Structure 1
C-alpha cells in the first residue's frame, strides 16, 4: 500500500465558469467582472500549464477532454465523483449539485483502462442522491492509505452514514469531525475536507483552527501523530488561500512532490516551507482563475490512480 501515486487523471474543462449551484455552500468561490470567454480561456491556459509542469517532473497525467454538452462548469474537479484504489476498485460518488452529477462519465473508466490499468469492481454510492445524501469523493474524504484511516469533515456534501459505509467497503478507520470557516462573522461548515487538510507520506498539512470542538481537534491530532505524520499547521487565512488543498505525488526516480497553487505557496511562511521541504520537493502553479471562480485548487483537479496495472 502506498500513500502517493505517479499517475493522475485530469479533466480539461470545456465550459469552465463559476457554478451557481455550488456557490450556495462553497464560500471559496468569488464572482469576477470578467466575461465568460475570458474566464474560460484563462482556465484552459492554467490547466494546460499545470499538466505541463506535472509531466516535467515525471508524473503520468491521463488527460480527458470535457464535452461541451451537457453543461458541466466544474468538470475540472474529477476527484469529487471518482476515486481509484490499489485493489482495483473504483468509487463513484453522490454529488450535491445537480449539474455536477453530469460529470460522471463511463468513458472515463475506459480511458483509464486503455492506459494499462485494471478495474475489478465499481462501488457506486450515487443512489444516495435520491435521499439527498452526499459524499463527494476525495473532496469529502482525505485518505491515509498506508494507515487505513479516512478523515471527514461533515457538511452538506459529506454525510456521516455514507462516510462510514465507504470506510466499511474500503476498509478504513473513520475519523469524523466538523470544520468551520468564518463567513460574514458566522461560523459555517467547510464544504470539503480537502480544503483544510492534506495527508502526505510523512507529514500532514492541516488547519486545526477550523476544528472548533477541542475534543475533536485532539482526536484528529492523535490519529495523525499515531500514524507518524509531522503536523504542519496552517492558519484559517492560509486555508482561504488554498494552502490546505495540496496533494503529494510521485515524480520520476521516486521523488515525492507536494503539489499546490502559487496562491497557496505564497501564503506559506518560511518556516512552513522549510518543514515541507524536509520531506518533499514543492511544485506550485498559477490557478488563480480556477480558484476564484471554481472555489477549488490543485488537489481538487487531481484524481489519483492507484489501480493495479493490467497483467
Structure 2
C-alpha cells in the first residue's frame, strides 16, 4: 500500500505484526565532515542552515569524532573519510540506505539527491564497494533517475512493521517516494506534504525502535497527519512543542531498545512531559554536543547511516 489517505493507512497498519525485521540497526556508518562549509545549493531549501561565517570546521570535526565514539559504545560505528568537494557529505543517510527484509534480502539503496553538490556523494565508489563487496549487499541505484528521493531524510521508516512515512517537498516527490517504497520492500507508505519551509521528514518525525514517535506538528502541511501518527503510537506518541522542533528534538534515533540519541541542544529543549513519556516508553536520552554540525542544517539523525 502507498497512499495519502492516513485513515486507510493506519487501518491497514494496525493489522500488521511487528515482524518485518529488526527494529534497530545492527551497525552504523558516518562520513567525516572534511571540507565542512555552507553549501549554497543546499541552503536554497534548508532554512535551518547557518550563514557561512557561522561554520567552524574544526569544532564540527571534533564533535563528529565524539559522536562516533559515543555511538560505538552501543553498536559498531565506522566512519568514511569526507571530501572537500562534498561539504554536505556528513549527512550520508540521505544518500545511502539499507534493508534486510525477507522480501528483498540485504540491499543497499542509493538515493537521488535534488542538488548537484549532493549528487556527487552518490558516486562514492568506496562506500558502494563497502556494501556490495565487503557486506555482499545487492545494490539498487536510484541516483540516475529524475525523481528526487533523499532516502531516510525524506522517508522515516518503522522498521519493525515495514511502514514508511514520506514527507513530500523539493527533496522528494510522489514518484520518488514510490521508488523508495519499492526499493526498501516496505509493506505500506503514507504520503503527506511537509509544511512550507521544511525540507526533510526526519527533522519533524522520529519513530523510535518501532514503539514510540516524536512528532513536530508544525512541520506538517496538515496537522491532522501529525496527530494521526502520534495517535498510532499512543501512549508513546508525542506532539513536540515549537521550541523542541526548532532544537532538532525529532532529528533523533534509537540504535538500541533502551536509548534515544539526539544532540545536546535537542536534549536541553525537551519538556518534562516529553522526558517523562520517553522514560515511560523505556528510553533513556543520550546526547552529544553538535552545535557546530547543526550549522549545516541537520543534526544527529542526519549524520547516522544505518546498516540493517
TM-score (norm 2): 0.85
CA distance in 1, matches of 2:128, 2:294: 27
Q: 1:280 and 1:30, CA in 2 relative to 1: closer, same or farther beyond 3 A?
A: same
Partner residue in 2 for 1:29: 49
Note if contact 2:230-2:238 (Cα within 8 Å) is conserved in structure 1: no
CA distance in 2, matches of 1:259, 1:6: 15
Q: Structure 1, residues 75-97: CA drift from partner, whole Å, max 9, x if none? A: 10000001011121111011011
Structure 2: gaps (5+ residues) = 1-20
CA distance in 2, matches of 1:259, 1:215: 27
Partner residue in 1 for 2:207: 199
CA distance in 2, matches of 1:29, 1:61: 26
In the TM superposition, what are the counterparts of 1:1-311 in structure 2 within 5 Å? 1-31=21-51, 33-34=53-54, 39-55=56-72, 57-68=73-84, 71-86=85-100, 87-104=105-122, 105-112=124-131, 117-119=135-137, 121-129=138-146, 133-169=147-183, 170-180=185-195, 188-201=196-209, 202-213=211-222, 215-217=224-226, 219-221=228-230, 224-225=232-233, 230-250=236-256, 256-278=258-280, 279-292=282-295, 294-306=296-308
SS class of match (2:238): strand
Partner residue in 2 for 1:185: none
TM-score (norm 1): 0.84
Q: Structure 1, residues 216-273: CA drift from partner, whole Å, max 9, x if none? A: 3454345x34xx67202112331111011001002xxxx5321100010011012211
Note if contact 1:62-1:112 (Cα within 8 Å) is conserved in structure 2: no
SS class of match (1:283): strand
Q: 1:20 and 1:220, CA in 2 relative to 1: closer, same or farther beyond 3 A?
A: same
1:74: Cα distance to partner? 0.5
SS class of match (1:29): coil
Note if contact 1:204-1:229 (Cα within 8 Å) is conserved in structure 2: no
SS class of match (1:21): helix
CA distance in 2, matches of 1:42, 1:33: 13
CA distance in 1, matches of 2:227, 2:286: 31
Superposed CA RMSD in Å reads 1.9
1:24: Cα distance to partner? 0.7
Q: Structure 1, residues 22-46: CA drift from partner, whole Å, max 9, x if none? A: 1111011111535x6xx11111101
CA distance in 1, matches of 2:71, 2:110: 25
Note if contact 2:83-2:89 (Cα within 8 Å) is conserved in structure 1: no
Q: Structure 1, residues 81-130: CA drift from partner, whole Å, max 9, x if none? A: 0101112111101101111111121211333567x6331x211111224x
Q: 1:262 and 1:218, CA in 2 relative to 1: closer, same or farther beyond 3 A?
A: closer
Note if contact 1:178-1:189 (Cα within 8 Å) is conserved in structure 2: no
Note if contact 1:83-1:91 (Cα within 8 Å) is conserved in structure 2: yes
Q: 1:204 and 1:214, CA in 2 relative to 1: closer, same or farther beyond 3 A?
A: closer
Note if contact 2:168-2:174 (Cα within 8 Å) is conserved in structure 1: yes
1:210: Cα distance to partner? 2.7
CA distance in 1, matches of 2:119, 2:52: 25
SS class of match (1:134): coil
Note if contact 1:138-1:194 (Cα within 8 Å) is conserved in structure 2: yes
